[in-house]
């Protein structure tokens, strides 16, 4: 495994790989790797000749109230984990390498951002789209891997790739879960004992919602009310949002048909957890 810190060196390595006809799978990360990231790397390893991951804490996607400096970092640990997943290259640039001067061009995302988590983080996905545009040009992968736990990000990235005609296939990878169904997250360690016992209710409520939809319920509001009641009755958590939109366009729906997402964000005392499921109902 090789660690590369400059754009020029990374591009030269990719050029050499392309000349040899090797396929490239790519996993962009901000580091502090967890099992979700490792699953993406494993999938990339299965499907490509070379696996590249990037570790870059992107300042453009942090809002004015979000502390960039406190974002967790542990490159030594990340390097060990990547090596165990048989990653070929870690692209580990500095902020100065990625943004050597004020940008004359940035990317603005106009759709799929004013709902779910994007609603409370204006400008966040502009930062994501801008840095991914740069990284996609540097790494030039055939396939890029993203976790469906952040389904809104996947939708935005798919829109970016489609609109800008990147020759990249976006591979969404299912959410990695604990045995009791709780979506794996570095935030789970912040849950108090009682909260950790209650947290699996989030996914259970989504699965129960899926059941009532399969049984024939087509009202988004009734499904949202059902989930709200279940979480309120069985946990001490505060609901941030429970929303249903078409997927991946993330538009309002008045009837549950076609492909749609049921997504939630819930706050416990020291941790805000997100989860979602995507369903497709095709009726004649």
Reported as a single tens digit per residue, the pLDDT across 3-37 is: 999 999 999 999 999 999 999 999 999 999 988 99
**180 is written with which tokens?**
């009791």
Reported as a single tens digit per residue, the pLDDT across 69-90 is: 888 899 999 999 999 999 999 9
Q: Is the pLDDT of residue 179 over 90?
A: yes
Q: Comparing C-alpha atoms, which of 262, 271, 261, 275 is closest to residue 237? A: 271
Cβ 66 vs Cβ 127: under 8 Å: no
Q: What is the CA radius of gyration of the chain?
A: 20
User: What is the average per-residue pLDDT within 159-186?
Assistant: 95
Q: Is 34 annotated as a binding residue?
A: yes
Chosen domain end from 173, 195, 210: 173
Residues 153 and 43 grouped into a single domain: yes
**52 is written with which tokens?**
């590249």
> What CATH number is attached to the domain comprising 238?
3.30.1300.10
Residues 166 and 192 grouped into a single domain: no
Reported as a single tens digit per residue, the pLDDT across 224-274 is: 999 999 999 999 999 999 999 999 999 999 999 999 999 999 999 999 999
List the 24-29 sheet strands across, edge first. 2-4, 89-91, 50-55, 24-29, 143-147, 169-173
**65 is written with which tokens?**
């109230």
Structural domain contains residue 71: yes
DSSP 21: T
pLDDT-derived band at 187 (thresholds 50, 70, 90) equals confident
pLDDT-derived band at 63 (thresholds 50, 70, 90) equals confident
DSSP 88: S
The reported pLDDT for the residue numbered 66 is: 77
The reported pLDDT for the residue numbered 64 is: 79
Instruction: Considering only residues 200 and 65, tell me which one the structure prediction assigns the higher pLDDT.
Output: 200
The reported pLDDT for the residue numbered 207 is: 98
Chosen domain end from 173, 199, 214: 173
Q: Is 147 annotated as a binding residue?
A: yes
Q: Which domain holds residue 254?
A: 186-279
Query: Which one of 16, 37, 124, 137 is the catalytic residue?
Result: 37
Reported as a single tens digit per residue, the pLDDT across 139-160 is: 999 999 999 999 999 999 999 9
Distance from C-alpha of 17 to C-alpha of 100, rounded to nearest angstrom: 27
Counting the structural domains of the chain, the total is 2
How many residues are recorded in the chain? Answer: 284
Residues 224 and 85 grouped into a single domain: no
Is 137 marked active-site?
no
The reported pLDDT for the residue numbered 226 is: 98
Residues 146 and 30 grouped into a single domain: yes
Q: Is 94 annotated as a binding residue?
A: no
The reported pLDDT for the residue numbered 72 is: 86
Cβ 265 vs Cβ 183: under 8 Å: no
What is the model's pTM? 0.92
Instruction: Considering only residues 63 and 96, tell me which one the structure prediction assigns the higher pLDDT.
Output: 96
In whole angstroms, how far apart are CA 195 and each of 205, 240, 263? 16, 16, 20
**36 is written with which tokens?**
């979700």
The reported pLDDT for the residue numbered 156 is: 97
Q: Is 139 annotated as a binding residue?
A: no
Cβ 201 vs Cβ 73: under 8 Å: no
Give the chain's mean pLDDT: 95
The reported pLDDT for the residue numbered 67 is: 78
The reported pLDDT for the residue numbered 237 is: 96
Sorted by sequence, the CB contacts under 8 Å of residue 148 that are 6+ apart come out as 154, 172, 173, 174, 175, 276, 278
The reported pLDDT for the residue numbered 284 is: 67
Q: Is 61 annotated as a binding residue?
A: yes
User: What is the average per-residue pLDDT within 191-199?
Assistant: 97
Residues 167 and 238 grouped into a single domain: no
In whole angstroms, how far apart are CA 89 and each of 13, 26, 85? 9, 10, 11
């Amino acid at each position: 495994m090789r660690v590369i810190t400059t754009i020029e060196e990374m591009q030269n390595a990719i050029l050499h790989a392309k000349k040899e006809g090797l396929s490239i799978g790519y996993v962009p990360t901000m580091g502090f790797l967890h099992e979700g990231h490792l699953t993406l790397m494993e999938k990339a390893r299965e499907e490509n000749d070379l696996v590249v991951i990037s570790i870059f804490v992107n300042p453009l996607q942090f809002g004015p109230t979000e502390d960039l400096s406190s974002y967790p970092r542990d490159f030594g640990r990340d390097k060990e984990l990547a090596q165990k997943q048989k990653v070929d290259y870690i692209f580990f640039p500095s902020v100065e390498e990625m943004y050597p001067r004020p940008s004359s061009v940035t990317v603005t995302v106009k759709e799929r951002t004013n709902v779910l988590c994007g609603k409370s983080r204006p400008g966040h996905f502009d930062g994501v789209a801008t840095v991914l545009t740069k990284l996609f040009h540097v790494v030039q992968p055939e396939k890029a891997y993203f976790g469906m736990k952040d389904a809104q990000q996947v939708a935005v990235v798919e829109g970016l790739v489609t609109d800008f005609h990147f020759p990249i296939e976006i591979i969404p990878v299912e959410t990695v879960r604990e045995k009791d169904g709780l979506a794996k997250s570095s935030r789970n360690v912040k849950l108090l004992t009682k909260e950790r016992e209650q947290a699996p209710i989030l996914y259970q409520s989504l699965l129960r919602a899926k059941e009532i939809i399969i049984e024939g319920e087509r009202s988004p509001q009734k499904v949202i009310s059902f989930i709200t009641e279940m979480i309120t009755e069985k946990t001490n958590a505060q609901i941030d949002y429970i929303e249903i939109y078409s997927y991946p366009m993330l538009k309002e729906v008045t009837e549950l048909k076609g492909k749609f997402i049921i997504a939630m964000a819930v706050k416990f005392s020291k941790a805000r957890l997100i989860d979602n499921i995507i369903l497709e109902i095709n009726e004649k």
